[in-house]
Amino acid sequence: MATSAATKRLTKEYATISKSPPPYIIAHPSEKNILEWHYILTGPPETPYDGGQYWGTLMFPPDYPFSPPAIRMHTPSGRFQPSTRLCLSISDFHPKSFNPAWEVSTILTGLLSFMTSEEMTTGSVRASEHERKLFASRTRWWNSTGGGSKQPSTPSQSSSNTRGIGAIKAGDGGAKFRFEWPEIDEENCKWMKEKRINPQTGLPLPLQSQHGPCSPEVAGLRRRPGGSATSGVGAVVQGGQVARDSWLSRNKWRIVFGTLFTYILVARMLGDGAVSTSA
């Protein structure tokens, strides 16, 4: 339970950070516990995290500000292990280096600065710029769905560094985020609907053609002049009939003259044969 001094200090800091939030940072204490703070860092421009929505927690000790908080980032970022306590000079890993004059805004500004650097520490990971951009594009989906379907815990997820108050298990369906950030969760759901994001996978759903499996051009090739569709065999038979009728109409006079010429030639040959026999 928080001391009266800690409660008074955190209440004052909440009023300050709500009135004048630092760039790319918002934060608030949980309704159930003033020592549990939730923050969202928005990835700054010209970084691999541009536009990303990074949610995490600060767990303050009862004697704050004389001891620092435990710092976690739950949203996968390619920079930190999700829900893992981070070893920073402003975190509970180094209580002796913590300055009581530092406030919540100071702590989160320092976290954002460390995130956009390449310095390594306990809880940080290495990833390419491309990988971090992919993580950034999926942060809204992850926050509001908890990473899609529920996932079984693994030994790495249950290590001592991921246990404790404030740790979030992947696959919780987004329940914790939804409770702490209902308005932002609603915005995320609208965003996923507009972008046609599959809630289970975080990937865009395939587009469905309004004209069925065939394009309008292909469908037109499969229709009779009257408009009804035909099968492949029917189309071939009908095509042959149309071609034959068209050839006859174009060459009917040639056929007539050719037939007449052939008849005269045959008659003459038969007549000459008869004269030769009588002679």
- Count CB neighbours of 18 within 10 A: 11
Of 106, 76, 75, 74, which is closest to residue 91 (Cα–Cα)? Answer: 106
To the nearest 10°, the Cα dihedral for 271, 275, 277, 279? Answer: 180
**Residue for token digits 């004389």?**
66
Tell me, yes or no, if 87 is annotated catalytic: yes
Token readout for 197 is 């994001």
> Of these residues, 26, 87, 125, 134, which one is catalytic?
87
To the nearest 10°, the Cα dihedral for 93, 94, 96, 102? Answer: -110
- Catalytically annotated residues: 87
